[in-house]
Structure 1
């Protein structure tokens, strides 16, 4: 069975680390959801996204850890970023300008730069899809989370994909 799901334990470890700031009961529920999707045959990145971003049974907006935004639209970004910021413990509002209509990739790069002022970074997760997927993490956890993601079969980095 282990050969069928070689990343199961590592995916669980990565997901637990990603969700570390959530209450134990909620974290355990979401880790089970991600593991369930993985055991149904999804690749690790897809299982993570499916388990956490499901509108009905995934993460709650007031505990938002992982977000996905459409690469062609700012609507998701405008809606989700304030919730993501608040859930990460930052009490300041992120303001960005759309005067020159920058790409969403540039907005995410600027967002990551803004987060460094709070000792945080925006970690991008490659899902192979048409969304930018990522989360706010503590700056001193970047290397550890990237290594855990790699061990779980997930490509994660600070630069957008």
Structure 2
């Protein structure tokens, strides 16, 4: 600025900025607008886990989100990581491929057990249903226990979902929407 100031005889000055300086926290809120809502949604989703495990997984999801991931991708990356994500004893979020019948057969009973249902789930092998139909049947079976299977849209080819108490489904779906995540009963 000194060179231009001398060149133009002191007429080259920059006015002060109109906006006040932002703090680091304000900048992070602007760059990642769903941070607090994603943390609340993840905390609600993991409510049945022990406090220490829940806090660890919420931090993992927040870390992925702060690295620039979309909210749904951060949720899936934080929880479904084979090494550092959720354990099979505390399974909350399940992901199966379109043709992942073997994965579903392995993960569904663990998800049912972790949600507190004592009865073992074994899905019927008759006919050739699609994975979407298998998940709809799974949701109907869960309804008999006062629970529902809620699907989370990740934008990928996997079916991702969790078991939720029937009376808290609407509030959880609303929290997901506030966190920038699309969730519903029917498969995406």
- TM-score w.r.t. the length of structure 1 is 0.99
| Aligned mate of 1:148, from 162, 175, 180 | 175
Give the distance between the partners of 1:42 and 1:58, measured in 2 at CA.
16
Q: In structure 2, what is the equivalent of residue 48 of structure 1?
A: 75
Say whether 1:22 aligns with 2:75.
no
Native 8 Å contact 2:88 2:110 kept in 1: yes
- Tell me, which stretches of 5 or more residues in structure 2 are unaligned? 1-27
Say whether 1:38 aligns with 2:77.
no
Q: In structure 2, what is the equivalent of residue 138 of structure 1?
A: 165
Runs of 4+ in 1 over 2 A off after TM superposition: none
Q: In structure 2, what is the equivalent of residue 100 of structure 1?
A: 127
Per the TM alignment, residue 72 of structure 1 is displaced from its structure 2 partner at its CA by 1.6
Per the TM alignment, residue 49 of structure 1 is displaced from its structure 2 partner at its CA by 0.2
1:91-124 CA distances to partner (integer Å, 9 max, x unpaired)? 1111222221100100100000000110000000
- TM-score w.r.t. the length of structure 2 is 0.85
Say whether 1:84 aligns with 2:111.
yes
Per the TM alignment, residue 73 of structure 1 is displaced from its structure 2 partner at its CA by 2.3
Larger radius of gyration: 2
Q: Which has the higher contact order (CA 8 A, sep 6+)?
A: 1
- Match of 1:3, SS? helix
Give the distance between the partners of 2:120 and 2:79, measured in 1 at CA.
24
Say whether 1:127 aligns with 2:154.
yes
- Tell me, which stretches of 5 or more residues in structure 1 are unaligned? none
Higher strand residue share: 1
1:44-92 CA distances to partner (integer Å, 9 max, x unpaired)? 0000000000000000100000010001220110110010000000011
